[in-house]
Structure 1
Amino acid sequence: MDWDKLRIFHAVADAGSLTHAGDALHLSQSAVSRQIRSLEESLNTTLFHRHARGLILTEQGELLFDATASMVKRIDAATARIRDSEEEVFGELKVTTTHGFGVLWLAPRLTKLYEKFPDLKIDLMLEERVLDLPMREADVAIRMKEPSQADLIRKRLMSIRMRMYASPEYLADRGVPGSLDELSQHRLICQNPASSQVAAGKLLVQELLTYDIQTALTVNNYFGVLQAVVANLGIGVLPDYIIEDFPSVVRVLPEIESNEVPVFLAYPEELRHSKRVAAFRDFVQEEIFAHRRQLRAMGAD
């Protein structure tokens, strides 16, 4: 089967439009249309339903698109390995992690990585959903639990805990709670227990909500919780890794915290020798070590 026709079919199916696929492939709409028509004739089937709003795959088209998507991912993986230089780090690296860790910890530190490797291109995908690394939905993942997928290289980076924090201004105005029972006099800011989050954080929030909380603010990510805490809205339940970059926040009820949450870095076995992956892995490990030193200096351990 003609790979050029499959490549064009994949672009059209991905874009849902002959025009958009043509723009991406630097081909005219008529040239793209001819290739799709030729492919359909060679397969003796219809691959797309034509609608005014665009193109929709037929059942046969869906089968072919699944196959071409797998082929594209394998070609991308092979291309990545070929392009990895023994001495240089360049090209795209797809990194996935949670919204909270990506926004609050990783993204603010990426300046150092770019300073060292200016030709690196990071595609940072913040997802609570676990992406499929062996299928190359991402190259590297940082997750709040050990990955269960096979054929992955994994390394435990650190452990975090969920704790309670507030701004000095809020505590000066509303007072510092001396026990969990006194939380009823304060506004609790946390993720909704029904939202996607680490199990240890969910369990801590569920426990805190049993203490007759009169007013609360729930947000579906930790960045929102942090912003509400900084804005003096109440006492927030947050991961402890935020305190290094936000030293103004004050820990509340220090005896109360969640169980440990392990943080793992993982990548496919086939990228074991990737220079880009190695550069990112080493950078994260160096930042983790610096983070631990800073926490010790702040007396947060």
Structure 2
Amino acid sequence: MHTDERPAVDLRRLPSPDDLLILLTVARLGRFNAVAETLGTTHTTISRRILALDKQLGGRTLERSPQGWELTQLGAAAVEAAEAIENTLGSLSGLISQDQSALSGLVRVATTDGVGAVFVTPALVRLQQQNPQLNIEMLSATRKVSQNRSGVDLEIVVGRTDVSNAQTIFLSNYYLRLYASPGYAAEHGLPETLDDVGQHGFVSYVESALQVAELGHRWSSQLPMPTSSFQATSVFAQVEAVRQGAGIGLLPNFMVAGQPDFVPVLAGDFERQLPIWAVARPESLRSAAVQAVIASLKEEVKARAGLLAG
């Protein structure tokens, strides 16, 4: 009787699934240090496991670039296999927990301060409440999109984006407008024209430390140089400085619009519109957890479109 028997697989010649998953994490984060932090190990261990994988596969899976570690053609093929392993393990985990929709693991998100506090945080909290096994790390800083992939799965940035080896996803627009406190307005009066703004104190970012030029006073020639300035790297400090009467501030509308402590200044004459983007490597965007974060962010900004419009 004829039987169709497949030849036995020599497991010794197959790459380690653990090493493939490590390669997948490197592809998503771009830096060994970030991968080591995520996996709870060391840079040396990550490097050693990648070298072992390269030896097993017979070629290099990664190469250095200005954007961090990038996949070779062999590495891209290995990542496809790693993603299949990840999906299979995720399905098995769902069966064990009797909740196949649950997300798990760690997602690292970098975001600007204001957008992070007002929109990203509630979106991430809601997602985590729906998926209790999902861990979140949120790194807050106001900067342009990273050119060297700063070890995060997803970056939330504002302003112009100019990156390679990454995909950008538009989330929403928001506005920067001029505001003062009622006390400041009563004591100093409010400007009637943009030229009059130069006769007042001005609150904005520290220009020498600012990476996103559109957020600063000097980016627009429409604004004259002020008589004095209060500059801070934190938008929360700027909001508080305006509240305390330090001067007229260029503030995100979604942080102060409609609040009694803030009076619009030249509301019909001056505003800046800035986009909010989600930026990630293609490998990160294939992660179910990262896709869920983006979906939650889109839901948050859509539900609060009125606040963003101000």
Q: Same fold (TM over 0.5)?
A: yes
Moved more, 272-281 or 199-208: 199-208
CA-to-aligned-CA distance 1:57-82 (integer Å, 9 cap, x gap) = xxxxxxxxx8xx889xx99x868666
1:122-174, Cα deviation, whole Å (9 max, x unpaired): 111224253358x6721111122454434434321112232111222332333
Identity of aligned residues (%): 24
Q: Which residue of 1 aligns with 2:189?
A: 175
Say if 1:145 and 1:191 are closer, same or farther in 2 by CA, change over 3 A.
Answer: closer
Structure 1 portions without partners, runs of 5+: 8-12, 15-23, 27-31, 37-65
What residue is the counterpart of 2:96 in the other structure? Answer: none
Where does residue 236 of structure 1 map in the other structure?
Answer: 249
1:188 to 202, 214, 222: 202
1:225 pairs with one of 238, 243, 255? 238
- The answer (yes or no) to whether the contact 1:92–1:120 under 8 Å persists in 2 is yes
CA deviation after TM superposition for structure 1 residue 188, in Å: 0.8
The alpha carbon displacement at 1:204 in A equals: 5.4
Q: What is the alpha-carbon distance in structure 2 between the residues aligned to residue 81 and residue 118 of structure 1?
A: 19
TM-score (norm 1): 0.64
Distance 2:168 2:245 in 1: 39
C-alpha change, 1:193 and 1:154, in structure 2 (3 Å) is same
**Most deviating of 105-114 and 90-99:** 105-114
Letter in 2 for 1:194: S
Distance 1:129 1:272, change over 3 A: closer
Give the CA deviation at 1:179.
1.9
Query: Is 2:229 aligned against 1:216?
Result: yes
Deviation (angstroms), 1:252 = 1.0
Deviations 1:6-51 (CA, angstroms, capped at 9, x unpaired): x9xxxxx97xxxxxxxxx769xxxxx9xxx9xxxxxxxxxxxxxxx
- Equivalents in 2 of 1:90, 1:117: separation in Å? 7
Task: Give the CA deviation at 1:221.
Answer: 3.1
Distance 1:288 1:227 in 2: 24
1:131·1:138 contact (CA, 8 Å) conserved in 2?
no
Report the RMSD for the aligned CA atoms in angstroms: 4.6
Structure 1 CA distance for aligned equivalents of residues 292 and 228 of structure 2? 46
Matched residue pairs, number? 251
Which residue of 285, 288, 296 corresponds with 2:298? Answer: 285
Partner of 2:8: none
**Where do residues 21-36 of structure 1 align in structure 2 (5 Å cutoff)?**
none
Distance 1:284 1:244 in 2: 21
SS at match of 2:163: coil
1:198 and 2:198 aligned: no
The 1:262–1:252 alpha-carbon spacing in structure 2 relative to 1, beyond 3 Å, is: same
Q: In 2, distance between residues paired with 1:275 and 1:149?
A: 23
Q: Whole-Å Cα distance in 1 between the matches of residues 89 and 184 of structure 2?
A: 53
Aligned match of 2:29: none
CA contact (8 A) 1:180 1:208 kept: yes
Aligned partner letter, 2:172: M
Aligned residue number for residue 59 of structure 1 = none
- Over 3 Å counting, the alpha-carbon distance change for 1:209 and 1:277 in structure 2 is same
Residue 152 of structure 1 corresponds to 166
